[in-house]
Amino acid sequence: MKLYEFAPTRSIRVRWTLQELGVNFEAIPVNLMAGEHRRPEFLEINPAGKVPALVDGDLVLTESVAIVLYLAEKYPDKGLLPGDLRGRAEVNRWLLFTTTELEQPLWRIARHTALYPEDKRLPGEVVLAREDFRAMAEVLEKHMQERQFIAGDSVTVADFVAAYTLDWANDIHLLDGFPRLLAYMKRMYDRPHAAPRIAQAFAGLKAKA
């Protein structure tokens, strides 16, 4: 099993899942800053030129949420995905909530502060995206009242996806005023098999440079 990754990205979600599962895998770095995601050999794996990508035998899988669900289903004895229909529905619900309601505003902020050329950045989009994120973070803050995990009574892949996304938000100071989400994120990253946090991953890249 091979994981094509760039440390600070959504690759973290997949690495975290693999580490929690205790699965052996080969990590293959794809340096986005050096343009390695645009090389022909990588585009054969993912024509979109994005990481993460997982190769498991003859299966090539992209999109981080699809990958973590695949891994959880491949190793059902590890319990990262509920065995009952209702439990799986709850995991899917919060995976979709995280990627649509929380992650998309974060992407809008990133695009209009760093990714787009300066002449295409719209400051107003940043303001609106921050408001959109905080409105949906309030929903999750209420959901986490007296809860340890985002779906059910034990850790699932929904937690790895959510914790990474909250870490991203925290890095741009969007979790101020959300004590439950901050405590939940810290609790998740305190797990013995947690992946590095985003800032730690970036620091590792600078140390290697």
d(CA 20, CA 157): 10
Host H or E run for residue 162: helix 157-171
d(CA 56, CA 73): 14
Angstrom distances, CA of residue 53 to CA of 5, 12, 17, 42, 205: 7, 12, 14, 10, 19
Tell me, what's the pLDDT at 208?
75
Tell me, what's the pLDDT at 204?
87
Cβ-based neighbours of 4, under 8 Å, separated by 6 or more? 11, 28, 30, 42, 45, 46, 51, 52, 53, 54, 55
Do 136 and 101 contact (CB within 8 A), yes or no?
Answer: yes
Kindly give the confidence (pLDDT) of every residue in the chain, 209 residues in length, as a single tens digit, with 9 standing for 90 and above.
999 999 999 999 999 999 999 999 999 999 999 999 999 999 999 999 999 999 999 999 999 999 999 999 999 999 999 999 999 999 999 999 999 999 999 999 999 999 999 999 999 999 999 999 999 999 999 999 999 999 999 999 999 999 999 999 999 999 999 999 999 999 999 999 999 999 999 998 888 76
Measured on CA atoms in the order 148, 154, 158, 160, is the torsion positive or negative? Answer: positive
d(CA 157, CA 65): 9
